[in-house]
Amino acid sequence: AGALRLSEGRLRLILDAIPAMIAHVDAGRRYRFANRAYAQWFGLSKEGIVGRSILEVFGDEAYAVVSPHLSEAEHGERVSYEYARKNADGHTGHARSVVVPDVSLEGGFRGYFVMSIDITEQKASQAALVQAQKMEAVGQLTGGLAHDFNNILTIIIGNLSALQDRLGEDSGHTHAQYVEPSLHAARRGAE
């Protein structure tokens, strides 16, 4: 019995040392074990999470996301999924979980083994990449539009300049007064 307690203590030490979040939940969806990382993810102690229900720990919104996956695991399926939840500080954290059904030798469902990893930084990096790609696309679009617009203005400026030269030869032409403001506006647009 002493050796068993020693190996059990060693196993708990190992489970607390690894960076993954690990828990065991019974068939009634109540926590029976959680390592330190798992409990801290929810702002609880290892002792404080034991006996609580998944609903109580996750909150209504996140529970609604994970519950269908747990139901799948109850039918003997190994499932993986991602979910997001707000922590006590109001920040949203993202996790990826794998749930393995705990099935007895007789084949009865006894609960779940859960292993999760925090993917909040990965999600933030993905969001930043998507934003950068959007900005690059907008830059390419506006650059193309500016180039096309400049080509159009070049034609307008060229024609207005030619018209101005022709009207300048005919000093008595009354339309010459309209050419200079148009030419000025076209040049400003090109700049």
Q: How confident is the model at residue 170 (pLDDT cuts 50, 70, 90)?
A: low
Rounded CA-CA distance 191/20 in Å is: 57
The model's pLDDT over 16-61, given as tens digits with 9 standing for 90+, comes to 778 789 999 999 999 999 999 999 888 899 999 999 999 999 989 8
Question: Can you say how many angstroms the Cα of residue 72 is from the centroid of all Cα atoms in its chain?
Answer: 25
| pLDDT, position 7 | 75
Give residue 2's pLDDT: 66
Cα 158–Cα 164–Cα 170 angle in degrees, nearest 5: 145
Question: Is the pLDDT confidence value at 151 over 80?
Answer: yes
How does pLDDT run across 53-103, given as a tens digit for each residue?
999 999 898 899 999 999 998 888 899 999 888 876 778 889 899 999 988
Tokens of 121: 């930084």
Q: Is the pLDDT of residue 144 over 90?
A: no
**pLDDT at residue 92, as a whole number:** 84
pLDDT at 173: 61
Q: How many CB atoms lie within 10 A of CB 46?
A: 19
pLDDT tens string 104-143: 766 678 899 999 998 888 877 777 777 888 888 887 888 8
Write down the residue that tokens 């950068």 correspond to: 132
How far, CA to CA in Å, does 128 sit from each of 59, 102, 118, 133?
28, 39, 18, 9
172 pLDDT above the threshold of 70: no
CA distance 62 to 42: 12
Residues 6 or more apart from 124 whose CB is under 8 A from it? none
